[in-house]
């Protein structure tokens, strides 16, 4: 069974991984944050380090195709339940996981809730209860969702770096001779291994009579302050620690829920005494290391608090400094207005206070611009009073009021303009950063999918089954570029189907399908085909089926299969010269499976090209960067030496055209598979005419000449 756990590393996730590993399950964890330290000591599994709300969850679920998804929900340490943005982050993550799990037909999902959700106590209870409603909305026959309302969960961690739960922390304090706290109310805590078993049962058992169930999973027995004190005294009879106060524990309410024992046949086995004894065994083995980790974290938290205080002080001093600078600059402008303007005739028309306002608006923003306006208005008022005017008379003068309004409009207008530009620049930088992160995530996901495929490949080969050969060959599709995927597809289909003559056509913008390449030169296929001229083949392909040709002779291949992107037919894979006895259902299904695998790799390739386009092309053009273009030319040359595809190089003179102008003029000439670029800055442009030999390139040369381009056909060694 393949299981995907969505949630941070911690007490629950660590024990879940260990429990599922014992059942020989393939475990994958979507952690949300990079926490390599918390993976030490855990059984082998594959981890994805990005948020569950990311669009890349689609590719994770698509690549894994899990049988069971566990959303840790209320027990995910990534969420700070009191934060304002927690609700949107939590809901979007849950909806994202549920929607893609449902889309890829995951049969079962387990959502971990809490007892506080029953009465919606606190921020956590309200958010988790809303999550239960979302789960109920998505559930349907064939997509079973179980919400488990859990009491307080405690137990021994699988990883020393995990934060101790509240009860285990009191045991740790008592063991070290420090005062500890007692539970303030009666509760029925659930030992973490019992929880792991309950979650495993949800994934294993079949529930056919309902699509959604909300279950209350309770601990074996209740515990209060006195019973907890008795357990501590039993474990540490010589200990000097004593109770120092009350411990507040959440999820203490009783919740009847649906009978979990009835549907899944499991009830908790670990009582309070046994559970705390297991915690003590874990503490005894790892006490020194746990103490070191806790001290490091306390020191780190202390440094973070000190740094936060320093940042606040620094920000305050910066604001004060800005105000002082503003006042000093005003004093300089006022002095210039008072002395230089009156004494020097050349500056009589200069408003130094207006220049001061503009300078502040450009550099400091709206807040200090308003201060500058008020100071300048006050300065002008003083100048007029100094000239003998009356305060009431000056304030009622039309020109003084208009001057103040003019200062205000100029300051606010300029400040908002620069502020808007800064925000737009910041948004562009943020978008670029997000695209780069998405680009890196796609590469990481692809690497992980390769690792998954190789794992299954090793298993299949070890079984000695002939299917191992299929997975070994199909691993060639584990590339990201679309051109490389289709080149690899030729080899894969040829080797798996046992056919030398394979050709692929891609959909053009002119309703024709153009020849991509062949594994041999004996396909005898046309360079372009119009699919609607072959109605029988068109009907089968558009229906997503494999076309099988039982006729002798003619222009049609023996077998043809479609490759779709979304709802559009983008490629046709054709097999030629197959023996008649091989036109059977087995070959048809095998061919269809291969095409589905190619389609899956192709969708990743399209996403990779979309995100990574700025790595290969000049911005907003179809002209490739020199380094990427040189690599593409060499790849085409390598493909031609293997007789997989033809191409022609045409040297084109730009004749003073800019990149934008050249891109616009070439827009109507370039086919989807063609490329244009140059090997080095300043060289002539090279036009890669894909899937065309040098004899057939003559019409392109003439067409380019008619469009005003000086061009000629060249060989690679002539560049």
The CATH code of the domain that includes 596 is 3.30.450.40
Structure token digits, residue 92: 């979007």
Q: Which residues, in sequence order, are CB contacts of 629 under 8 Å at separation 6+?
A: 675, 677, 678, 679, 686
Residue 476 banded pLDDT, cuts 50, 70, 90: low
Q: Flag the least confident range among 30-44, 192-206, 430-444.
A: 30-44
Same domain for 470 and 428?
no
| CA gap 587, 598 in Å, rounded | 16
DSSP-derived secondary structure letter, 339: I
What is the mean predicted confidence (pLDDT) over 395-423? 77
Report how far Cα 200 is from the mean position of its chain's Cα atoms. 28
Q: Which residues, in sequence order, are CB contacts of 155 under 8 Å at separation 6+?
A: 11, 15, 165, 168, 191, 192, 193, 275, 278, 279
Indicate whether 247 pLDDT > 50.
Answer: yes
Task: Out of 613, 647, 679, pick the residue that ends a domain.
Answer: 613
Residue 480 banded pLDDT, cuts 50, 70, 90: low
User: In this structure, is residue 428 part of a structural domain?
Assistant: yes
The domain that contains 700 carries what CATH number? Answer: 3.30.70.270
**Residues of 356-383 as b/e, b for ≥16 C-beta within 10 angstroms?**
bbbbbbeebbeebbbbbbebbbebbbeb
Q: Mean of the per-residue pLDDT values for the chain?
A: 79
Decide if 632 contacts 617 (C-beta within 8 A). no
Indicate whether 532 pLDDT > 60.
Answer: yes
Helix H segments across 72-150? Answer: 86-103, 122-138
The whole-number pLDDT of residue 25 equals: 86
Same domain for 355 and 434?
yes
Q: Flag the least confident range among 26-40, 241-255, 503-517.
A: 26-40
φ, ψ at 709 (rounded to 5°): -100, 125
Structure token digits, residue 373: 């306006």
Helix H segments across 475-567? Answer: 482-497, 535-542
CA angle, corner 102, sides to 195 and 602, nearest 5? 120
Percentage, residues of the chain above pLDDT 90: 9
Indicate whether 627 pLDDT > 80.
Answer: no
Residue 157 banded pLDDT, cuts 50, 70, 90: confident
Q: Give the CA distances from residue 252 to residues 122, 218, 221, 384, in Å, rounded to whole numbers and listed in that order.
A: 13, 10, 12, 74
What is the pTM for the complete model shown? 0.52
Same domain for 228 and 365?
no
Task: Find the domain containing 90 and state its range.
Answer: 2-304
The whole-number pLDDT of residue 137 equals: 92
User: In this structure, is residue 231 part of a structural domain?
Assistant: yes
Task: Out of 459, 483, 516, pick the residue that ends a domain.
Answer: 459
User: In this structure, is residue 324 part of a structural domain?
Assistant: no
| CA gap 652, 674 in Å, rounded | 14
pLDDT in tens, 161-206: 777 888 888 888 888 888 888 888 888 899 999 999 999 988 888 7
The whole-number pLDDT of residue 475 equals: 57
Q: Please give the span between the terminal C-alpha atoms of the chain, in angstroms, as a whole number.
A: 56
What is the mean predicted confidence (pLDDT) over 421-436? 80
| CA gap 371, 327 in Å, rounded | 9
| CA gap 137, 145 in Å, rounded | 10
Same domain for 30 and 96?
yes
Torsion of CA 19, 20, 22, 24, to 10 degrees: 180
What is the mean predicted confidence (pLDDT) over 47-67? 82
pLDDT in tens, 90-139: 999 999 999 999 998 899 999 999 988 888 888 899 999 999 999 999 99
Same domain for 520 and 579?
yes
Indicate whether 364 pLDDT > 50.
Answer: yes
| CA gap 170, 223 in Å, rounded | 15
| CA gap 270, 278 in Å, rounded | 10
Residue 630 banded pLDDT, cuts 50, 70, 90: confident
Same domain for 606 and 623?
no
What is the mean predicted confidence (pLDDT) over 584-605? 79
């Amino acid at each position: 069974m393949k299981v995907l756990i969505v949630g941070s590393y911690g007490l629950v996730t660590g024990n879940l991984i260990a429990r599922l590993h014992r059942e020989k399950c393939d475990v994958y964890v979507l952690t949300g944050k990079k926490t390599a330290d918390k993976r030490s000591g855990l059984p082998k599994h594959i981890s994805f380090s990005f948020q569950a709300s990311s669009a890349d969850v689609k590719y994770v679920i698509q690549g894994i195709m899990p049988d069971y998804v566990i959303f840790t929900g209320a027990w995910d340490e990534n969420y700070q339940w009191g934060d304002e943005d927690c609700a949107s982050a939590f809901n979007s993550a849950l909806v994202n996981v549920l929607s893609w799990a449902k889309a890829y037909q995951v049969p079962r999902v387990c959502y971990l809730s809490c007892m506080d959700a029953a009465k919606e106590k606190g921020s956590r209870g309200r958010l988790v209860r809303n999550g239960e409603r979302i789960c109920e909305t998505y559930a349907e026959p064939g997509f079973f969702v179980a919400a488990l309302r859990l009491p307080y969960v405690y137990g021994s961690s699988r990883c020393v770096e995990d934060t101790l739960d509240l009860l285990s922390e009191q045991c740790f304090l008592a063991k070290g001779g420090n005062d500890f706290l007692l539970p303030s109310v009666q509760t029925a805590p659930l030992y973490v291994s019992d929880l792991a078993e309950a979650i495993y049962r949800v994934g294993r058992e079949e529930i056919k009579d309902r699509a959604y169930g909300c279950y209350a999973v309770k601990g074996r027995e209740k515990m209060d302050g006195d019973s907890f004190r008795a357990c501590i005294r039993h474990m540490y009879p010589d200990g000097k620690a004593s109770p120092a106060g009350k411990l507040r524990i959440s999820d203490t309410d009783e919740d009847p829920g649906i009978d979990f024992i009835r549907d899944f046949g499991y009830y908790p086995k670990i009582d309070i005494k046994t559970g705390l004894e297991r915690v003590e065994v874990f503490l005894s083995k790892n006490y020194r290391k746990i103490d070191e980790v806790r001290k490091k974290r306390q020191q780190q938290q202390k440094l973070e608090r000190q740094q936060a205080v320093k940042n606040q002080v620094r920000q305050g001093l910066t604001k004060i400094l800005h105000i002082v600078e503003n006042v000093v600059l005003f004093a300089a402008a006022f002095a210039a207005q008072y002395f230089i303007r009156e004494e020097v005739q050349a500056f009589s028309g200069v408003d130094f206070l207006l220049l001061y306002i503009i300078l502040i608006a450009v550099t400091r923003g709206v807040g200090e611009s308003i201060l500058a306006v008020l100071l300048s208005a006050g300065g002008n008022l003083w100048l007029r009073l100094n000239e003998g005017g009356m305060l009431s008379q000056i304030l009622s003068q039309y020109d003084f009021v208009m001057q103040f309004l003019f200062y205000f409009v100029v300051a606010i207008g300029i400040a908002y303009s620069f502020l808007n530009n800064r925000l737009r620049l910041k948004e562009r930088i943020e978008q670029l950063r997000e695209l780069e992160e998405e680009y890196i995530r796609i590469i990481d996901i692809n690497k992980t999918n390769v690792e998954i495929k190789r794992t299954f490949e090793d298993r299949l080969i070890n079984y000695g089954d002939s299917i191992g050969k299929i997975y070994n060959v199909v691993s060639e599709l584990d590339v990201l570029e679309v051109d490389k995927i289709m080149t690899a597809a030729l080899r894969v289909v040829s080797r798996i189907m046992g056919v030398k003559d394979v050709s692929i056509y891609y959909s053009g913008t002119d309703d024709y399908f153009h020849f991509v390449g062949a594994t041999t030169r004996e396909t005898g296929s046309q360079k372009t085909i119009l699919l609607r001229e072959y109605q029988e083949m068109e009907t089968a392909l558009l229906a997503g089926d494999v076309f099988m040709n039982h006729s002798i002779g003619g222009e049609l291949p023996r077998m043809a299969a479609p490759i779709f992107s979304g709802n559009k037919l983008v490629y046709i894979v054709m097999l030629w010269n197959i023996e008649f006895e091989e036109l059977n259902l087995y070959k048809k299904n095998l061919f269809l499976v291969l095409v589905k695998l190619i389609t899956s790799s192709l969708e990743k390739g399209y996403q990779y090209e979309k995100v990574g386009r700025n790595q290969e092309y000049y911005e907003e053009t179809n002209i490739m960067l020199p380094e990427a273009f040189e690599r593409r030319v060499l790849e085409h040359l390598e493909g031609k030496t293997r007789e997989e595809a033809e191409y022609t190089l045409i040297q084109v003179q730009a004749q003073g055209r800019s990149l934008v102008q050249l891109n616009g003029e070439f827009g109507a000439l370039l086919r989807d598979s063609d490329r244009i670029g140059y090997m080095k800055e300043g060289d002539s442009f090279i036009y890669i005419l894909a899937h065309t030999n040098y004899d057939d390139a003559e019409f392109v040369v003439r067409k380019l000449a008619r469009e005003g381009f000086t061009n000629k056909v060249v060989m690679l060694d002539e560049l």
